[in-house]
Structure 1
């Protein structure tokens, strides 16, 4: 019956709150519910457990208000890299806005209006204390690049939020007293991120380890010049339950890593970028950390096959391995991993120039559980390696190749025939791969949904016709493949109705016919990039947007055939549009007035 409120009369508060909580991942839905009536507004506020906050002109005043409104919040993310527009912040009140003028930054937003000013300021220690008082149930807190937060504010918050389990202080210039207070008060702390915390020294980390070392599960340290082996020795001594360590430091050596490896036997995830760590430390990791599942080694200049052999001998549970810029590793080290870590599912080799075909062949022979393989800047790995992977790793679902000059069609054909569950194939600047290899992918890999072929000069229409006939793609990137023209994109349009995103930038032979086919065949398209496509005109754009009503993003700079009329067509026809990248001179004053907020300019003066 019209006008009869069936929901509010029948449903109790507890049930409505539970319904709102189940909408946790849908902010628009929650916001819409809060507008129904005052009761729903209040109940929706009670159901909120997570808040994301950017920088604002009056952050302290803003935080004081939300602590009164959302009393059951357990997770708060404050990121001062994110700006809020002045129009929104003025709602805080002019009296408070004028009181926070110490640190302001005005950014000209590249939108339709040239006066779209953005002002940012920083949260203070006083408001961090208010945050602690208002959110006493707080369990997770992120303070990203909050430059004005000091030990005083952090200590005050720690005293009030004893239930804190996760703390992210990335980019905050807090000192040792603040971190010591966290250790003394937050005995349940499990996750701590100290990346770019330049004000910390060993004293603060030692106090933290003494206070909450028993509960600490995850620790991240990067770019902290005053944190040395002394800190890691304290971690190894007191943090027996540590499972994840991420370390990027020039001031940590084998001494610190040895302490962690011997003292934290439950370690499962280890990511290190420390130029002074050698095989000696990795050998102890292989001996003591038998539960290790994820290992990432970046730029270890003193690391050789000896360390990798120790990992292969001891870490039988290893599933994910990343080797980046480790110049002294060779095929023998990778062979040790292959024979010892047969549960390996993810492997990335990036810039390790002494690893070649033999090393990867061993992976194909022994690591039958492999599901993702990434080879970046691997000049010595050839087709035989991928043939072996194709024969032995039939569970492979994702393959990434970047600047692998020795890999061609033969290797890709081997992958296609053997890895028929392949879902993602990303290739960039592999100039020996052409139509034959990609056609085989289209013929055999019918589960493929994500294909990227960036700047692969030998790939043309023939390959895309095969892919369109054999695969139902959701994502396609063929930017820079200059041999691709209308025929290839038309085949994709007719064979891939589920296509969501498409990058056809720098395709000089592509014209309006392909745009018309995309408009007819791909109604779910949300993102298209067609910059530097000189044959596409306003006519093609009109055909594209006629049926692609879900389009959210369109990049079309340096397209001489697209004029102000084409830009207007896009913004007026696509009700969901959020971003249009175009030259400034192609946007009419009328389009600026109607849709200036979604226009972004790449080149301001063209």
Structure 2
């Protein structure tokens, strides 16, 4: 889809040939305004929603002008994954008087974790002449009013406090804001917006600088600014009545301290969705939380205990989504941090029995404390379960997996990691669960055998087999393409018997693949990667330790051959010429991030004193390239980034 095609679709049928000839002889970027003013354009008054997500060939500035002329009553614009939408066009979008919902999502940066060890970092600015839009010499006046009520800016690292200020000034009707992964906005900027947008009741700010100031702003709406440092806020915004939040996602926000989080939760009564992943959440904060309307709760990677979580579950019987992976204290019945006078007196010690009695779950992500026995205890809550993830710390064995086939007839997604499996159980799952669309079996004890490949599972859309099928050959892979013919996402790790012909099997068997991960898969890339270019819908590609045959210009070549490719992960070990050319703005096409791992040779610790023992590659560092509309960030980190 191009800007020319969009423009032609908006002209009358009789004007089409004339306009096409005119376009061939001129520059659409320079002349589109003349065409819009001198030629009659069709008006679609019933058009309320437009979705141009992933149409990366469109010139967004021009297309927005088209929509403004032809769709006078447009209410929703979805234009996700447009890296070239620069922030200076944001005010133009806000000024559209009819639009109520805007989605400008881009890929989340792979460097969100604050735990990565940065070895080197530099930023390369995009030259003005290469941009789709160039900044005018004088800033355009901000729009005076916007009717936008729902705004999604997820992943936009080029948006800063300046854009948040524009939103706060113009969007008086804003009720929903998603700024997840917006790394350039500050805690102060978020706090100012919270105070000004008094109707805001849904905030997704995970993996941002959301912290003490933002929490103080939420607690102080309608009470003044005494507790908010370094902020200048017009007092008229503080006299309006407070609106309780319905949705709050602040997972991964390291600026949130225990005290401020406890204060915030103690004042929220109407929350329906709460994400506190990886925060300083402790038992006392959950005990003080008065809410009873939760439908989604994410407390993964926190220090909460089983008793505190059970207390919250009992009060929120409408809970349908529970994410509690990485919570080591779920193995304990009482946290050391809990206070006796806050702990409810009449709770049963068995958390899963309580959960089974109180809730009807649709999604459960769990690890520590979950076992085969837990499946039976939680059984009544699993009747409507659609997604189950069991990870590190769980002890779900074959018996528990058998029970799932009976208890969860609606299951659509199943992910098991570090569990005990068997052929019979996996085959039973594939035969029994006819609604299953996603299956992930990773790093489990008890390798699968080729027998399970005979199960026909045409309903599967996503399949991960990581370190569980080392025996897989090209013939086995071909059989998999026949029995799982509709896969859109595939991940294979540790299939060491595959060779270069596997590429042809994959591209011919699954031409519509959107995501492909191949790691430690024999010699799949020993002779290049040309056959995978037939998968034109590919958006995410990972190739690591599959044979030293990736050419120097592979990244740029792949970006040009795969028009939808946004994320690419490689390893220098596979570079046939010892190096890889890195793309810039002009030749990145749709790429938003590239990760290249580097290894070093090291002996196994058991063979350290054996001089003749072979050295094996182990991870050393990762180069991460991340683009936005204004810059390219180059970062080297110690950790392995996938």
1:99-138 pair list within 5 angstroms:
133-138=143-148
Greater RCO structure (CA 8 Å; 6+ sep): 2
TM-score (norm 1): 0.63
Secondary structure (helix, strand or coil) at the match of 1:374 reads strand
Label 1:372 to 1:416 Cα distance change in 2 as closer, same or farther (>3 A).
farther
Kept in 2, the 8 Å contact 1:319–1:341? The answer is: yes
1:219-234 pair list within 5 angstroms:
219-221=248-250, 222-223=253-254, 224-225=256-257, 226-234=259-267
Cα shift at 1:350: 0.9
Label 1:162 to 1:395 Cα distance change in 2 as closer, same or farther (>3 A).
same
Show CA shifts across 1:25-79 (max 9, x none): 365576389389xx848637976957889999x97xx379747975655448699
Cα shift at 1:342: 1.3
Cα shift at 1:398: 1.5
Counterpart for residue 368 of structure 1: 409
Label 1:401 to 1:522 Cα distance change in 2 as closer, same or farther (>3 A).
closer
Q: Hey, what's the Cα distance between the residues in 2 that align with 1:157 and 1:314?
A: 41
Residue 350 of structure 2 is aligned to residue 306 of structure 1: yes
Q: Hey, what's the Cα distance between the residues in 1 that align with 2:543 and 2:301?
A: 42
Label 1:18 to 1:249 Cα distance change in 2 as closer, same or farther (>3 A).
same
Cα shift at 1:234: 0.7
Q: Hey, what's the Cα distance between the residues in 2 that align with 1:275 and 1:601?
A: 28
Counterpart for residue 402 of structure 1: 442
Counterpart for residue 24 of structure 2: none
Gapped regions of structure 1 (runs ≥ 5): 97-126, 434-456, 584-596
Counterpart for residue 481 of structure 1: 495
Counterpart for residue 218 of structure 2: 205
Counterpart for residue 110 of structure 1: none
Label 1:72 to 1:50 Cα distance change in 2 as closer, same or farther (>3 A).
farther
Residue 184 of structure 2 is aligned to residue 173 of structure 1: no
1:232-311 pair list within 5 angstroms:
232-236=265-269, 239=270, 242-248=271-277, 251-260=280-289, 263-273=290-300, 275-304=302-331, 306-311=350-355
1:50-199 pair list within 5 angstroms:
62=88, 66=92, 74=100, 75=102, 85-87=126-128, 91-92=134-135, 133-141=143-151, 149=161, 158=168, 161-168=171-178, 172-174=186-188, 178=192, 181-182=195-196, 186-187=198-199, 189-191=201-203, 193=205, 196-199=209-212
Secondary structure (helix, strand or coil) at the match of 2:357 reads helix
Kept in 1, the 8 Å contact 2:489–2:515? The answer is: yes
Gapped regions of structure 2 (runs ≥ 5): 1-13, 21-34, 110-122, 224-239, 332-348, 598-630, 638-642
Kept in 2, the 8 Å contact 1:475–1:502? The answer is: yes
Q: Hey, what's the Cα distance between the residues in 2 that align with 1:461 and 1:330?
A: 36
Q: Hey, what's the Cα distance between the residues in 1 that align with 2:545 and 2:43?
A: 54
Q: Hey, what's the Cα distance between the residues in 1 that align with 2:190 and 2:564?
A: 50
Number of equivalences = 503
Q: CA RMSD in A?
A: 5.6
Show CA shifts across 1:530-567 (max 9, x none): 665657598xx9xx99x978696886955576799x99
Cα shift at 1:314: 0.8
Counterpart for residue 341 of structure 1: 382
Label 1:198 to 1:313 Cα distance change in 2 as closer, same or farther (>3 A).
same
For residue 364 of structure 2, the aligned residue among 321, 342, 350 is 321
Q: Hey, what's the Cα distance between the residues in 2 that align with 1:50 and 1:549?
A: 23
Cα shift at 1:426: 0.4
Larger proportion of helix = 1
For residue 467 of structure 1, the aligned residue among 480, 486, 495 is 480
Secondary structure (helix, strand or coil) at the match of 1:205 reads helix
Label 1:10 to 1:581 Cα distance change in 2 as closer, same or farther (>3 A).
same
Show CA shifts across 1:171-214 (max 9, x none): 522289737734xx523533453754223276433234997765
